[in-house]
């Protein structure tokens, strides 16, 4: 695989698993096993949408104390560590989501060693707890989701902060496999379609030779099918509907559909007034 192909595949890594790695831990919070406590977990992710990381961290720690042994606690907290580092480094404000050229030119960042250790430590804990539960029940939905999330988070850290493209691809393939198992257990989990939907969209948008290389790695894509899945979550998802709209807005920007992209971003701006990134993106679109 040549360098250009690896870079394009890593573009898929970023966009496909931005959906998995950021706010998707809330998806399994809507299921029966933790339904009684889902409001507090949901509150933590709502805080992440508003970039209130310290408050979200306290919520996740409290949820973890109430649910010892449940891997969603540390997995959710790891998402918070990753997003806070993205925000500190300015990654969330970068414009490399728009096209392959900008993504290929992205720089390698210098991570905060303390945050990196916290991030890896919480993921190690989440994975250990998930494997323990899967040993008892291979169809445990929370454990399957925690593994999906953990692999996606590691893929994002490798791609966006360390610029390790092939390492990120490895974690991406792992996350895709866990996501498929999760959907097999619960095909009506609308939130879970975010991961598979955006993956299909990005791969389907690649050139034919790159799509062929990605398929050799066990991942396939279909642009229109991906959009259908994202819309499914945007319309019916309980926790990830806002995030599906974020991903759809990215897709619309890439497809030069500024009208629909702006409409989604305006709704997100109104829903999450504490997040300055939405009005910034709207202003950027208006200035084009």
In this predicted model, what pLDDT tens digit does every residue of 125-151 receive, in sequence order? 999 999 999 999 999 999 998 898 888
Q: Reply yes or no on whether the pLDDT at 14 is more than 80.
A: no
State residue 69's pLDDT score.
95
Considering only CA atoms, which of 123, 189, 204 is closest in space to residue 156? 123
Within 13 Å, how many C-alpha atoms sit on residue 205's CB side? 23
- Residue 238 contacts residue 46 (beta carbons within 8 Å): no
Separation CA 131–CA 197 (nearest Å): 26
Q: Quick check: 174 pLDDT over 90?
A: no
Q: How far apart are alpha carbons 10 and 155 in whole angstroms? A: 9
**pLDDT at position 91, please?**
73
- 10-39: average pLDDT: 41
Tell me the C-alpha distance between 256 and 52, whole Å: 31
pLDDT tens for 218-268 read: 555 677 887 888 898 888 876 677 778 887 887 888 788 889 999 999 999
DSSP per residue, 53-90: HHHHHHHHHHHHHHSTT-THHHHHHHHHHHHHHHHHHT
CA angle 92, 98, 103 (to 5 degrees): 75
Q: How many CA atoms lie within 13 A of 147 on its CB side?
A: 22
Helix (H, G, I), strand (E, B) or coil at 256: coil
What does the alpha-carbon distance between residue 97 and residue 11 come to, in Å, rounded to a whole number? 8
Considering only 37-46, 89-98, 274-283, which range has the smallest mean pLDDT?
89-98
30-39, 166-175, 213-222 — which is least confidently predicted?
30-39
Nearest to 253 by CA among 245, 72, 132: 245
Q: What is the CA radius of gyration of the chain?
A: 17
Q: Which two tokens stand for residue 257?
A: 């559909």
Task: Read off the pLDDT of residues 26-85 as tens digits, 9 standing for 90 and up.
Answer: 344 334 343 444 447 788 888 888 889 999 999 999 999 999 999 989 998 998 898 898
Give the span between the Cα atoms of 84 and 91, in whole angstroms.
10
Contacts with 68 (C-beta within 8 Å, 6 or more apart), sequence order = none
Q: What is the distance of C-alpha 171 from the center of its chain? A: 13
Quick one: how many helices (H) and strands (E) in the chain?
15, 0
Instruction: Collect all residues with Cβ–Cβ distance below 8 Å to 184 and sequence separation of at least 6.
Output: none
Asked if 281 and 275 count as a contact pair (C-beta separation under 8 A), the reply is no
This prediction's pTM: 0.76
């Amino acid at each position: 695989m040549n360098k250009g192909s690896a870079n394009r595949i890593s573009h898929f890594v970023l966009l496909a698993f931005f959906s998995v790695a950021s706010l998707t831990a809330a998806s399994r919070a809507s299921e029966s096993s933790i339904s009684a406590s889902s409001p507090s977990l949901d509150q933590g992710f709502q805080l992440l949408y508003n970039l209130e990381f310290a408050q979200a961290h306290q919520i996740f720690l409290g949820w973890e104390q109430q649910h010892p042994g449940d891997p969603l606690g540390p997995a959710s907290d790891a998402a918070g560590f990753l997003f806070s580092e993205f925000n500190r480094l300015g990654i969330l404000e970068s414009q490399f989501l728009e096209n392959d050229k900008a993504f290929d030119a992205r720089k390698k960042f210098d991570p905060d060693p303390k945050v990196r250790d916290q991030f890896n430590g919480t993921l190690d804990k989440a994975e250990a707890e998930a494997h323990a539960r899967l040993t008892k029940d291979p169809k445990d939905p929370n454990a399957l989701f925690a593994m999906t999330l953990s692999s996606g988070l590691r893929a994002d850290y490798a791609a966006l902060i360390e610029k390790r493209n092939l390492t990120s691809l490895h974690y991406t393939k792992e996350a895709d496999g866990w996501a498929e198992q999760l959907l097999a257990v619960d095909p009506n989990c609308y939130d879970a379609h975010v991961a598979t939907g955006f993956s299909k969209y990005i791969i389907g948008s690649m050139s034919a030779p790159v799509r062929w290389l990605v398929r050799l790695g066990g991942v396939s894509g279909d642009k229109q099918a991906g959009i259908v899945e994202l819309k499914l979550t945007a319309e019916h998802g309980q926790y990830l509907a806002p995030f599906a709209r974020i991903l759809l807005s990215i897709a619309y920007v890439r497809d030069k559909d500024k009208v629909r992209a702006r409409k989604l971003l305006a709704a997100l701006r109104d829903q999450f007034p504490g997040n300055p990134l939405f009005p910034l993106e709207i202003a950027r679109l208006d200035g084009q």
